[in-house]
Structure 1
């Protein structure tokens, strides 16, 4: 089984993605390494995490050198700040979610090309998996907590998630202090392959990530 490295905005994104990978590949012992930001054994943040640092990591020599030890890199980024300076990707306007995601992926590709050159990118591009969560990772949790069209939402997802959690009398998420342990609990059902595969098609950016990146790896592994 391949080794995965996670480059994400925050620790909460790490735990959600790790559960998704475990569930998709049906392997509780899957090796998943947290590269950016770092976290300790208690899930406390050891490095600074936000979208800016995802871009910074992807043009660093640390990123380049990590290809020696890791088979696949999952690069996660939300899109709620895509319009901001240094992110500089205009919001969706008359296009599909997939087209919007592809514009963000193009930004990463240009960054990697500018940092390390075409030869490096061409040699490693199949190892890079872009998890672009439109517009935040909480949108990927909605299929676990809704059965109506809300599970397809791409905005105000944290609010929608908290609404459902409140009705279920579960612990809600404090927007100003997100707890990785809560996110691990909320996404734990994604460790179950059947639930994961029934859920991801309902959210467009979640579906893009799985179908574009995880399915080909699975196909290659089974051939």
Structure 2
């Protein structure tokens, strides 16, 4: 079996596993919608006032997209590794030609497909519900590689968490512990100006910060080349480390 067929077969199996897990489908597609309806429609923004939502609605587009870009890959890949370890699946996979990076690549492609669809739906919903406006042009197309880079990065991190955590419950706890502060403090919903001066440089250490900067620039019709380049470089690094972290036997 060729490499392409191995990855394709693993992709189909992983996609079928996702579709059969109704809870995963709900949290991937409907939970972010609830957040948009709550924060975008009910709470709303106050550009002339103060508080957390004091910016233009378009400022918060990266935060809404980051819900699926961060939480879904971390929990799905990490939980899959923990579940495979519990079922001794990696011992069986070790007897096949499938390599660790091929396994992670297939699961990353599944997440890219799922989150790409969810992200597109969320983007349209954000524009419709919050009144956010974007500049339509060539730079807006940069949103696609930004989402792909973000998903690949957090798939790699999810594989690392799945290797370190000792159970599926441990993966969920660790994923949420990582995802929540990263999601909030990476120039998504909280502007750097609202953070303590000493903490502001720390946000540059978060990979999601470059996703936020890139999405915000693309939505404004500006070039997102620099944040995209940083995000892709980080994604490659996390993917390589994540591939090494995928168990061979247990």
Normalised by the length of structure 1, the TM-score is: 0.32
- The structure in which a higher percent of residues are helix is 2
Normalised by the length of structure 2, the TM-score is: 0.29
- The structure in which a higher percent of residues are strand is 1
